Structure 1
Amino acid sequence: MASSAENHSHRHRAPFAAAATVAAPPPTPSAQPNLSAPPSTASSDLLSHLLLRLPPSLSLSRRPSSAVAAAAETATPPVVSLSSLNSSLLSAATQFGFFHLADHRIPAGLPSSAASSAGALFDLPDHRKKSLFPANWPLGHDTGDDDGAAESFCLDGTAGAAESAEELSMGPLREFAAEMEKIGLTVAEALAAAAGFESPPEGEKLCPLMWISGGSSRPGRVYPYVVGLHYQMQRRNQLLLSDSGWVTVPGRPESLLVTIGDIAQVWSNGKVKKVRGRPIPSENNNSHCITMSLIITLPVESTVSPRIPSLVSLQNREEEDDIYEKNGSKSLFTSFSFEDYAWRVYHECLHLKDTLMRYRI
């Protein structure tokens, strides 16, 4: 078992790579003083501290009510072709924060095979789930029982031993994750070019995480990301929490629903809209459905800040004010620790507030 200091420098690996030693989860950042937070966030920090320590029976529900689902506006996002990303992506990102991706080139039949492999994970006895996929924030198996979240698996290189993966016939799921990863990285690069922000610096490689959730109308855990890919198996409406509130997105079978995440919004200095978390099936008539999402995210030791070229090299507030007078560029977010932010997002209730608001200037 690795130490917590070793875990702090742990980097996410490619999905379903060779097995690695499971590291201990980091210390709870939200329980430590946030020295970079402005004084105005003191009451927010206190509320967050109290909410994180509520007994399970008093925890605020992560599940959107049926009234929320019924009142959500229906949004029909644009359909963007993978071959024309550069010409269509910016409009979709700034107007909606999500879109359908067609012509994704994922082999026919692979998603259904991957879904079968994923479904087999939920059928395992509890002790097998714990031994093959030990909880190691955010990786591994999460029962979701304590706070009403969906049962889920978050997978990367620590997703069980190689022989266990072979035993569970996870080959189709691994192949599907690899295809999704290639598309996700392509979308992230195109988004950076379209929105005008710089790619991560050397040593801060983008990381893919495969999230598999079970349960209808239950969101599961939330984790910060740059872009998210969500394969549409059926013509089932999806519920999204966007910057404009809850919206219902009609399903488009065999396409990818792409969502722009909170990290992309900070990098673009607020230029693009975002979706908080992953899509939720809006129908309640299916007690157990499998959702497969791949998110492109960051290593836990990263620092998040606007990556607009005119702002990256700023040394002080006076220089920023000078830049703003010349070309209207001004940082809208403070820099913050990705690990602290990710811990807060993962453990706080999704529907209480926008966690990113506390970092706005």
Structure 2
Amino acid sequence: MACEREFQIGVLLTFVIIWTPMFVLTYCPFQDFLDHSVSTLQFNHINAITITIQSLHLLHHPLSHTTTFASTMIQSNPPLMHHYGALVRNSAEPKQAKSFNLQNPSAVDACDLPLIDLGALKSSNERDKRACTAAICKAASEWGFFQVVNHGISHDLLRKMRNEQMKLFEVPFEKKITCGLLNNPYRWGTPTATRSSHFSWSEAFHIPLTMISEAASWGEFSSLREAINEFAPAMLEVSRLLASILAQNLGYPKDAVEKLCDAGTCFLRLNHYPCCPKSKEEIFGLVPHTDSDFLTILYQDQVGGLQLMKDSKWVAVKPNPDALIVNIGDLFQAWSNDEYRSVEHKVVANDKMERYSVAYFLCPFNNTVINGCKGPSVYRKFTFGEYRHQIQEDVKKIGHKIGLSRFKL
């Protein structure tokens, strides 16, 4: 049995060593990748290179060392501490904590986001409809975030999506990085991070929804595909409803956003935040960022950890089991000439409980021109493709997104 195990480990390491460079050459590190992914969770190929280099080094040592390395990979899923332990340990140094300006969550106020009942939009009472519409636009302007209930997505479907998501992340790490699911959309950690303020203690599958119909891409995860096939259209319907209300408030036609975004231009991101051995005030689950879409709809569990910037300070969002969270993206802020706000937000790591969430990103076609409404434009005209490219360039050169300020007049 021992010989058989040694042979299996040798085969695994050989596979990683031989095929990782081919994966790196085949896929562009920024292909179909929004800024929230680029700046926090790079393609797993970079991580695979690290594993390969370590594997090559270990081949010069007795097999017992190789077995230890392999068991480390298996025991930690993903092996965040194994690869980023130095960053995590250094985060506790007072000097670094001060320079990173990380706030202690005990000093962060908890908030109830504006709660909007979308059921009012189906009311026969026109006053109720107008009040609901006004509440959506007010929340988009004052908060950039709000919650919606009676959104039309059943609890059964939400539970089904969560169960499939959890099953996916329970797959062993070495399988997640090599399974080939959907052309390898798996990301973990932050390979470019040089300090803890740039590091995200999390893993994710970033899924282009153009690929839902490609059954061959899902392999053994066909039940996940079935769940997404139900979940994604339901999220698209909610996002289009909200976008149409926000667009009409700006003077655009009701279907303006719908013409720019379809099921194939949007993305779904499955997030998992493992327990972090460091206390949550020292490590991010997801670094502070804004989203580069029109709007995002988030389905999260009840663990908590999401924080947003409100009145120049971080506030913690209280989970609501009946609500979906909606936030405005950069494109809507530019489109509205800053009437709507794309707000910086983050996730803080948790040292006791793991966290799951699913984010739906309402994105337009790459050639969509973003131009401000209502008077002189705050930003110059740009396409969505141009905006994404600029973010990618900034991340490569300086390590983080700059965003809309690049396009301000």
* Both proteins in one fold, TM over 0.5: yes
Number of paired residues?
286
Q: Counterpart of 1:295?
A: 361
Q: Is the 8 A contact 2:391 2:401 kept in 1?
A: no
1:285 to partner: Cα distance? 3.2
Q: 2:388 aligns with which of 342, 348, 351?
A: 342
Q: Counterpart of 2:285?
A: 218
- What amino acid maps onto 1:210 in structure 2? L
2:269 match: secondary structure: strand
Mapped pair 1:141 → 2:189: no
After superposition, the Cα gap between the structure-2 partners of 1:333 and 1:94, relative to the gap in structure 1 and judged at 3 Å, is same
How far apart, in 1, do the equivalents of 2:30 and 2:102 lie?
Answer: 36
Counterparts of 1:322-337 in structure 2, within 5 Å, are: 329-337=375-383
Q: Counterpart of 1:67?
A: 103
RMSD: 3.8
How far apart, in 2, do the equivalents of 1:245 and 1:352 lie?
Answer: 21
Q: Is the 8 A contact 2:137 2:249 kept in 1?
A: yes
What residue ranges of structure 2 are gaps of 5+ in the alignment?
Answer: 1-25, 32-49, 51-82, 92-96, 122-128, 194-198, 275-283
Mapped pair 1:151 → 2:203: yes
1:166 to partner: Cα distance? 6.7
TM-score by length of 1: 0.67
Higher relative contact order (CA 8 A, sep 6+): 1
Q: Is the 8 A contact 1:100 1:255 kept in 2?
A: yes
How far apart, in 2, do the equivalents of 1:283 and 1:144 lie?
Answer: 12
After superposition, the Cα gap between the structure-2 partners of 1:202 and 1:151, relative to the gap in structure 1 and judged at 3 Å, is closer
Per-residue CA deviations over 1:105-131 (Å, capped at 9, x if unaligned) read 211222122111112222334345441
Q: Is the 8 A contact 2:240 2:258 kept in 1?
A: no
How far apart, in 2, do the equivalents of 1:189 and 1:142 lie?
Answer: 32
1:212 to partner: Cα distance? 0.9
- What amino acid maps onto 2:378 in structure 1? L
Q: Counterpart of 1:107?
A: 154
How far apart, in 2, do the equivalents of 1:157 and 1:112 lie?
Answer: 23
1:276 to partner: Cα distance? 3.7
Q: Counterpart of 1:231?
A: 299
1:157 match: secondary structure: helix
How far apart, in 2, do the equivalents of 1:344 and 1:303 lie?
Answer: 15
1:260 to partner: Cα distance? 0.9
Q: 1:204 aligns with which of 224, 243, 260?
A: 260
Q: Is the 8 A contact 2:298 2:325 kept in 1?
A: yes
- What amino acid maps onto 2:380 in structure 1? T
After superposition, the Cα gap between the structure-2 partners of 1:202 and 1:241, relative to the gap in structure 1 and judged at 3 Å, is closer
Q: Is the 8 A contact 2:116 2:147 kept in 1?
A: yes
Per-residue CA deviations over 1:269-300 (Å, capped at 9, x if unaligned) read 111112246x52x4613453211111111222
After superposition, the Cα gap between the structure-2 partners of 1:123 and 1:72, relative to the gap in structure 1 and judged at 3 Å, is same
After superposition, the Cα gap between the structure-2 partners of 1:266 and 1:162, relative to the gap in structure 1 and judged at 3 Å, is same
Per-residue CA deviations over 1:229-249 (Å, capped at 9, x if unaligned) read 112432625212468453222
Q: 1:172 aligns with which of 221, 227, 247?
A: 227
After superposition, the Cα gap between the structure-2 partners of 1:80 and 1:257, relative to the gap in structure 1 and judged at 3 Å, is same
2:298 match: secondary structure: strand
TM-score by length of 2: 0.59
Q: Counterpart of 1:187?
A: 242
What residue ranges of structure 1 are gaps of 5+ in the alignment?
Answer: 1-22, 29-54, 311-328
How far apart, in 1, do the equivalents of 2:151 and 2:399 lie?
Answer: 32
Q: Counterpart of 2:112?
A: 76
1:100 to partner: Cα distance? 0.9
Pick which of 165-174 and 86-95 moved more: 165-174
1:26 to partner: Cα distance? 8.6
How far apart, in 2, do the equivalents of 1:348 and 1:69 lie?
Answer: 27
After superposition, the Cα gap between the structure-2 partners of 1:27 and 1:183, relative to the gap in structure 1 and judged at 3 Å, is closer
Q: Counterpart of 1:267?
A: 335
Pick which of 84-93 and 216-225 moved more: 216-225
After superposition, the Cα gap between the structure-2 partners of 1:185 and 1:245, relative to the gap in structure 1 and judged at 3 Å, is farther
After superposition, the Cα gap between the structure-2 partners of 1:354 and 1:27, relative to the gap in structure 1 and judged at 3 Å, is closer
- What amino acid maps onto 1:132 in structure 2? L
- Using the aligned pairs only, state the percent identity: 21
Q: Counterpart of 2:16?
A: none
1:275 match: secondary structure: coil
Greater Rg over alpha carbons, structure: 2
How far apart, in 2, do the equivalents of 1:222 and 1:211 lie?
Answer: 15
How far apart, in 2, do the equivalents of 1:202 and 1:174 lie?
Answer: 19
1:96 to partner: Cα distance? 0.8
Q: Counterpart of 2:21?
A: none
